[in-house]
Every structure is written in structure tokens, then in C-alpha cells.
Chain A
Amino acid sequence: MIKLRFFIFLSAIFLVVSLLPTRAWAQDSLHIDIFGPGEDRINAFVAPPRDLQSEVLHNPELGSRIYDGLQSNLGLLPFLTQVNPEHILGGPGVEGVRGRDIDFRKFNLSRVDLLLTIGLEQHAGGPGSVEIRAFEVFDQRMILGRAYDLQDLDQVPLMLRRFCAELMEYLTGNGDFFRSRLAFERKKNGNKDIWSVTPQGNDLTRLTDLRGITLSPAWSPDGSRIAFTLMRDNEHHLGIWDLEKGEEEVFSMPGNTVISPAFSPEGRLALSLDPMGRPDIYWLDDDYGVDETIMEHWAIDVSPSFDASGTKMAFASGRLGNPHIFVHDFEKGQIQRVSYEGRYNTNPSISPEGDFVAFTRQTPDGHRIFVVDLETGREKQISSGPGNDEDPAFAPDGYFVAFSSNRSGEYRLYLTTRNGDEPREISTGEGNAKAPAWGLEKDF
């Protein structure tokens, strides 16, 4: 594991510019409520990279990688609008990367709220060091400045994720979108295996090679394990992929089916098994043996999903004749029905806060993703096809929602938000990609 060295700049250096007149409320002017009723939008602009030592960029390849990567990452945030460089009055360039070198007036006139600068310094034997800064234009104030020492060009995506995590944290209060990884099913040569990729589409990695059909990956809360269903040799098995071992273990379960494993926030594994001759939801113990029943019914009970407090579990059940979404409250011991419309509601994913459930509803035009507010019961359709939109999964920030869709002909992964923002495809290569599951990157 190659390490990135972090330097936190002395904030005093960068606060020089804030000696200029400021408004009293300026401190929080760029903080946005992504969960608010009307989404705020801010205009962002990434200035072309500059060399810290000279007028000429010594490593243009590194510069353009960082510049493109940063724009691409910011482009995934629906509350940011990137300003076209041609619309910057007086040209997009900056005289330097530090606040004192920046002509903030031209950016202010061009309606830029958030300005980012990239500074590069060449080192012998490596790509060099990189400084990235983010400024609030109106207040001419630096809100984030980080320096990174790169050993390898391949470290650029990780560096950008770290910077963007902190930037998003500053802007919205939660930067987990950039600290997450997605696990998903990918079909290749007739087999299905578990792969992983960052939500930004970097670092596509194959995790399992089991020559069978693997389904429904689920991350443990600490990011160290992925549980999944394995179909092989006329049987279902529980598979556990272990990050430290870098390989998977396969466990036999009582009964004939192993469906939809999901970890609770305490790291307990729940899944649907049929030892009683019908799919019910059970807890497993630490050795992956059956511990106790969570949900028992003559009808199908599958797809458990837990909120971050572990007090609520959403699941899909056929107890009313057709599949519908229910939420089990462990504290109150109550089961609440949450889907009323339609005849086929499945794939529940409860938000970490336990206030929303995203699910798939079959409509005459195909499956669509809906989000229901558990407080008010109000529903919102957040995807509109075409084709089938399935497998919604709330990100750890409770804002982004990943899902799969065959809108392009084959199943691919997409990102939207619980507000139903324009879906963005996550690149996962060839072959059907389904069942995205979020996990927080270990030791990020």
C-alpha cells in the first residue's frame, strides 16, 4: 500500500485574504442543505493547474489528470454547477494558487461561488507534490487547502477522493460519498462474480472467482467483509469475502435457499433462509450459524435492510398476496406497511437515518425507484427509466442512491439522489452489472 502524505497548511497563510471586508453571515454562505425541500445550487469553477515554481507547467500530464479528475468528481455532485471556462470574464486563469494571487472580482462577476486551484511542484523520482485549494469567492476566503506528495500517477484518483470527501463534508456536513466503495454483481462468461468500484467509477476490481452465480453482495459496517449468495452444485451457499485474507469462504446453511444477506450496524448478519420450508429472515451468529428468527411468516420474507441505529429493518414480504415493503421496529416490536400502491414492490433500502425507504415498484413501463418518507408516508418517484430501474441502495450519507438499470440495453449501475437527480452511469466495464451495495472504505 503506497501512502499519501498529508500536509495541513497553516491556515494563517491563507487567511490573509479574509482581511478584506466580509459580511457577517459569510462564514456559512457556502454550506448547503442537500436534504432541504428545494435543493440549493452553487456555481463551482476549477482553475487550470499552475506550477508552484514557474510560469510553465513541468508535468502537464499530471496537471490534466488532476484537473479532469477533479471536474469529474465535482460533476457527480448535483448541487454544484460547473461554470464554463469561456464564461469567465477576463479568462479562466489565475495568477497563482494562493488567495493573495487570485483576482476574485472576475470570478465573482462570472457568478462563481466556489473556486478551486491546483498547484504542482516537480520532484525528482516521482510525480511531485500537489496543492489543492478551495475558496469561497464572495468572501475571498479559503475553506480548504491540502497538499499531497504523490509517489505514483495512479494515486491521483485516491488523492482526489480524499480532497473531495473533505470538501463535501465542509459543504454538506457529510463526505462519505467519496469515502465509499460499491460492491456489485457482474456477469462475465456465463458466471456472476462480485466486483467493486468506487462510486466515481475508479479502481474496478474483481473480488470473487467462484465459477458459479454470486448474488446480492452486502458490506459489513467496518468494510472488512462482503456477504453474498453463491449458487453452485445444485445448492445455495453463503459466501463471505474477507478483505484481509483477500479471498472468500463458503458456508452451508440449513434449508435450500440463501437469499439477501445484510449486515446490521453492529456487524450481525441477517438473511433469508428456508429451514422451515419457507423463506424467513434470521440472524446468524459470529460463526455463520443460525442464531434466531427475526421475521417468520408463511409467505415470502426477504431483503432485510437496516438503518444506522439498528432499530429499524425494512424488508419485502408477500404476506398480503403480492410483494410489499414493510418496516419492522425492533424497539416498538411493530411492523409498519410502507408501500400501498402497485402490485409488486421489492428491493427495500432504508436510509441510514431511518427516515426514508427506497424501493423498486413495477409499473406498466417497467420497474422504477421510489422513495417513501416514513414520517409522512409521502412517496416520490426518483427514476424514470426507460427499461427497468432496480436495486436501489442508499449511500452512507443518506443522500446518494445507487441503482441498476437496463435503460441502455444491458444492466449498468447508476447514481442518483433521494431527490431524483439526473442519473449518472458508473463505469463498470462490459457485462451486466447489478445489485450495488455501499461500503465505507476501510482505513481511508
Chain B
Amino acid sequence: MKNRTVMLLALLLGLIMFAGTGCGKRAVEAPTDPAAEELTEEEKARLEEERLKEEMERQALEERRLQEERMERERDEVDAEARIQDAMEEITANRIHFAFDSYELDADARSALQKISEHMKRFDELRLVIEGHTDERGTAEYNLALGERRARAAYEFLVLLGVSSDRLQIISYGEENPLVDESNESAWAQNRRAEFKVLD
């Protein structure tokens, strides 16, 4: 039964080959086929061996390529991590400062907020808490409200620059967390600020 099928297939193949002789190109290939059938067992084994060797080499190459791709991907990830780390550091370093009893954003503050908004747009996974602080010269409760005004001024500017409000949170610390714990003009100027912290 099985032999008959093989014979039928061989006959069919022969017919196709015969029909194909009309095409010049095929005519060249056709004579090689009978030769292959005449390969010795030894040669078959050698060919098989070569084929296996080629296959192994191909696989090794593929492995190497995958390895390189993986490394590149990891390099990119590290780069992205480094870039986001840089962005976070820059955001944190961008404190903005205010005049006494004021929550008005000056030119420096606006340009700092511009930079922060760019980072926020580049890395949309970042979320910020904006802290409003005052110097120690006012009184605690009013300062708590003034700190809120400062944080909100920064918040509203960032929203205006296109940062989504649900990525921003504000808190006022009033005079409770001075940057410089001294009582002089320079310390007060540094303490009247809004700070930006990246939320985990």
C-alpha cells in the first residue's frame, strides 16, 4: 500500500519534470537530480554532518545576535534609568524662591518651573509633591497659609504648562522645615521657597 503511493508520487514527479523540460533553466538542474540519488552512504553521512555543523553555527550566530540585542536593550534601560534619575535630580534641585510675605513667581521661578514641566512631559511616570515653605519671621498659622499659596502658585503654573494636575500634590510646611536653620537675611531668603519632591 505504502509502496504504491511512493510509486505514484514518483510517477507524478516524473511527469512534472518531463513537462518542465520546456523551460531552459530547469533543463540544467534536471540532470543533477539523478546524480544525488547515486550518493554513497558515506557521502550522505558526510553531508548530514555538514548540515548539522551549519545548523549549529547558525544557531550560535542567532544566540550571539540575541545576546547583543539583550545587552543593547539593557544598555538602553540603564540609559533611560540614568536619564530619569538625572531628571529627578534636576527637578529636586530646582527650588524656587519668594520675597517676604509674597507668593508671586518671579522670572527665575518661572524658568525653573518651565524646566520641571519639560522633565514631567518627558517622563510621564513621574509624580511630584510641591512643598511650600516660609522663613521664620512671620507667625506659624499665617505662614502655613502662605506656604500653601506658594506651593499652589507653582502647581498652577505647572498645570498651565501642560502638566496633568493628577500628577501633582501640594503641601505647606509653613516655617516648620527651614532649609537653613539660622536667623539671618541669607537664611531667610533660602528658606522662603517651594521645593519639588518626586513621589515613589
| B169 proximity list for chain A (CB < 8 A) | 234, 256
18 inter-chain pairs at a CB distance below 8 angstroms, sorted by A residue, are A192-B176, A213-B173, A215-B144, A216-B141, A231-B176, A234-B171, A234-B197, A234-B199, A257-B144, A260-B141, A302-B145, A323-B101, A323-B138, A343-B101, A344-B138, A346-B139, A360-B139, A362-B137
A280–chain B nearest beta-carbon distance, Å: 10
Which of A215, A256, A277, A303 neighbours the largest number of chain B CB atoms within 10 Å of its CB? A256
Q: Besides A231-B173, A257-B172, A323-B138, 18 other CB < 8 A contacts?
A: A234-B169, A236-B171, A256-B148, A256-B152, A256-B170, A257-B148, A259-B141, A274-B152, A279-B149, A300-B145, A303-B141, A318-B142, A323-B142, A347-B141, A347-B142, A362-B137, A434-B140, A435-B140
Report the separation of the CA atoms of residues A316 and B139 in the bound assembly, to the nearest whole angstrom: 11
A347–B139 touching, CB < 8 Å: yes
Instruction: Verify if A98 is at the interface (C-beta below 8 Å from B).
Output: no
Asked if B179 CB lies within 8 Å of chain A CBs, one says no
CA distance A278 to B170 in the complex (A): 12
| Cβ of B129 under 8 Å from chain A | yes
Q: How many residues of B contact A (CB 8 A)?
A: 24
What 8 A-B pairs come out closest when comparing CB atoms? A300-B145, A279-B145, A346-B142, A346-B139, A260-B141, A257-B148, A259-B144, A303-B141
A434 neighbours in B (Cβ, 8 Å) = 140
| Contact indicator B176/A213 (Cβ below 8 Å) | yes
Residue-by-residue, is A269-305 near B (CB-CB < 8 Å gives 1, otherwise 0)?
Answer: 0001010011100000000000000000000101100
Q: For chain B residues 165-200, which have a beta carbon within 8 Å of chain A?
A: 169-174, 176, 197, 199
B interface residues (Cβ-Cβ under 8 A, vs A): 101, 129, 137-142, 144-146, 148-149, 151-152, 169-174, 176, 197, 199
Identify A279's interface contact among B140, B148, B171, B197, CB under 8 A: B148
Question: CA of A234 to CA of B176 in the docked complex: distance in angstroms?
Answer: 13
User: Given the known A-B contacts A192-B176, A256-B172, are A234 and B129 also in contact in the complex, defined by CB atoms under 8 Å?
Assistant: yes
Q: Whose C-beta in chain B lies nearest to the C-beta of A343? A: B101
Partner of B141, one of A343, A344, A346: A346
Asked whether A247 is an interface residue with its Cβ less than 8 Å from the other chain, the reply is no
Q: Is the CB of B176 within 8 A of A259?
A: no
Describe B's contact surface by its main secondary structure: mixed
Are A256 and B171 in touch, CB under 8 angstroms? Answer: yes
Cross-chain contact B148 with A346 (CB below 8 angstroms): no
- Distance in angstroms from B111 CB to nearest chain A CB is 24
User: Which residues on B sit within 8 Å (CB–CB) of A229?
Assistant: 144
| Bound-state Cα–Cα, A300 to B139, Å | 14
Q: Is the pair A259, B145 in contact by a Cβ cutoff of 8 Å?
A: yes
B139 A367 Cβ-Cβ under 8 A: yes
In the complex, A52 Cα to B29 Cα: how many Å? 139
Asked if B149 and A300 sit within 8 Å, CB to CB, the answer is yes
Q: Give Cα A302 to B138, complex, Å.
A: 13
Shortest CB distance A112–B (Å): 43
Nearest-CB residue, chain A, relative to B144: A259
Contact A346 B138 (CB under 8 A): yes
- Chain A residues whose CB sits within 8 angstroms of the CB of B199 once the complex forms: 234
Q: How far is the CA of A235 from the CA of B148 in the complex (A)?
A: 12
B141 near A302 with CB under 8 A, answer yes
Q: What separation, in Å, do the CA atoms of A231 and B129 have in the docked complex?
A: 14
CA distance A322 to B173 in the complex (A): 20
Of A274, A303, A435, the contact of B142 (CB 8 Å cutoff): A303
Nearest opposing residue in chain A for B139, CB measure: A346
For the complex, what is the distance from the CA of A352 to the CA of B72, rounded to whole Å?
75
Residues from 293 to 333 in A contacting B, C-beta threshold 8 Å: 300, 302-303, 316, 318, 322-323
Assess A390 versus B139: contact at CB under 8 Å? Given A300-B146, A344-B101: yes
